[in-house]
Structure 1
Amino acid sequence: MKRKEVYGTTGPRMLVRFFGGWDFTEADASTRRPAEVGYEKGVPMGGDLSNAPEGKSPTFLIAALKDPIGANLDRYQIVKGWMDAEGALHEKVYDVVWGGDRQPGSDGKLPPVGNTVDMAAATWTNTIGATELITVWEDPDFDPAQKAFYYGRVIEIPTPRWTAYDAKFFGLQNVDPEVQMIAQERAYTSPIWYTPD
């Protein structure tokens, strides 16, 4: 906790890793020990990056493993925040790695993973998504003169929300259509901070 190397979830017990550095390569995502490579070549979530080598952008080694008794994973996103010269805050979300054979559309957005929820039974199937997500990502919009932060967000496939379980338990037939019955649980990492020299 003192090192800020923590992440939180909305309930599931997925395992999440997030490392930042200047020298991660695709080969680092092929190891079965991403934490070993992460600590060796970078800083973990909650860490600080500085002294950007000339011509380099930060690279991130990210990994997530599903909750053993939970839903598969939809996607791993990196959220970047920065402050412009006028002091205004900005944020951009990057879909970095995802389950299935989906491809981003012409607008750059990744299509939804799908939905296997059976509302009547308040169940779902793990026939979509992925059990594990791992890759190396490089910031394509890096400005070495600009302060920034990056954090990871892991999203599961859709599952029944607690309201769906209640509706099944109590045999409710006519649930108000405004009541949300499906959720996509998620995890959020502590950020990695970049400070210019």
Structure 2
Amino acid sequence: MREFSSGGLAGVWAESNTRESIYAALLRKETFATSGVRLKVRVFAGYDFDKNSLEDNNWVKTAYDNGVPMGGDLPQATDKAPSFIVDALKETDGANLDRIQMIKGWVDATGKAHEKIYNIALSDGRTVDANGKVAPVGNTVDVKTATYTNSIGSTHFSVVWTDPDFDAGQHAFYYVRVLQIPTPRWSTYDAVNLGIEPRKDLPTTIQERGWTSPIWYAPN
């Protein structure tokens, strides 16, 4: 759609930069995509993660040992809801991050599909209100010059989130979406470079984003 970005990128979490390792990562779906920016995001799910899990300098190895990465399947639950380790890093020369969202999908007993969005990490001290809403991060874009500043947002998020609505008898999937702060849309850059006014029928700014492969849960 013309309101969004003009391209995209895919990323994989592979053991090494070799054809074999990259193909193996694609096969196990340990992948993510972005709207064109080079932010990084990874997710693990398991039943033994807590807020202290990220304090270990070797937390990635621990996460592999005690959980499943994105693209994987959670084992059958017993008496615990799954917890998710989410780590996201801004692109080196790019925009800061606005938030992390967990998107959960499930099918109820009647066969109806549902989806819910949880805001699980927010920049600039914002919190989720009683209705699940979050104030916008703000917008530093100067449309006349097609510039922005990183005076808002965060460079890095690391969070552990536990599903508060988990039903062990219900099929579900979870994937993560990471939003950047607003930046000039490519059409705004073009307008400034050409010395013309931005098109009135297109947004002048955009929140680029990344999203992960889902993690799946299936009861017996």
Normalising by structure 2, we get a TM-score of 0.86
Corresponding position of 1:191: 214
Q: Relative to structure 1, is the Cα distance of residues 159 and 71 closer, same or farther in structure 2, using a 3 angstrom cutoff?
A: same
Please tell me whether the aligned partners of residues 20 and 44 of structure 1 are also in contact (alpha carbons under 8 angstroms): yes
Aligned length: 195
Distance 1:123 1:95 in 2: 27
In the alignment, structure 2 segments of 5+ residues that lack a partner are: 1-25
Higher relative contact order, structure no. (Cα contacts within 8 Å, ≥ 6 residues apart): 1
Distance 1:34 1:78 in 2: 20
Measured after TM superposition, the shift of residue 45 of structure 1 is 0.2
Corresponding position of 1:102: 126
Aligned amino acid, residue 117 of structure 1:
V
Distance 1:112 1:6 in 2: 28
Distance 1:51 1:61 in 2: 19
Q: Which moved more, 1:32-41 or 1:108-117?
A: 32-41
- Say what the alpha-carbon RMSD is for the aligned residues: 1.1
Aligned amino acid, residue 211 of structure 2:
Y
Distance 1:73 1:149 in 2: 24
Does residue 155 of the first structure (1) align with residue 217 of the second (2)?
no
Distance 2:142 2:58 in 1: 37
Please tell me whether the aligned partners of residues 62 and 135 of structure 1 are also in contact (alpha carbons under 8 angstroms): yes
Structure 1, residues 74-119: CA drift from partner, whole Å, max 9, x if none?
0111100000111111000000011111122232211111101111
Measured after TM superposition, the shift of residue 32 of structure 1 is 4.0
Please tell me whether the aligned partners of residues 17 and 62 of structure 1 are also in contact (alpha carbons under 8 angstroms): yes
In the alignment, structure 1 segments of 5+ residues that lack a partner are: none
Distance 2:185 2:63 in 1: 35
Measured after TM superposition, the shift of residue 51 of structure 1 is 1.6
Distance 1:105 1:164 in 2: 33
Corresponding position of 2:61: 36
Secondary structure in structure 2 of the residue aligned to 1:52: coil
Distance 2:62 2:87 in 1: 12
- Pairing 1:2-151 to 2, within 5 Å after superposition: 2-54=27-79, 56-151=80-175
Distance 1:162 1:33 in 2: 39
Distance 1:179 1:11 in 2: 18
Normalising by structure 1, we get a TM-score of 0.95
Q: Relative to structure 1, is the Cα distance of residues 77 and 33 closer, same or farther in structure 2, using a 3 angstrom cutoff?
A: farther
Structure 1, residues 8-64: CA drift from partner, whole Å, max 9, x if none?
01111111110000110101123344422221210000000122022x101000000
Aligned amino acid, residue 187 of structure 1:
G
Secondary structure in structure 1 of the residue aligned to 2:193: helix
Counting aligned pairs with the same residue, the percent is 49
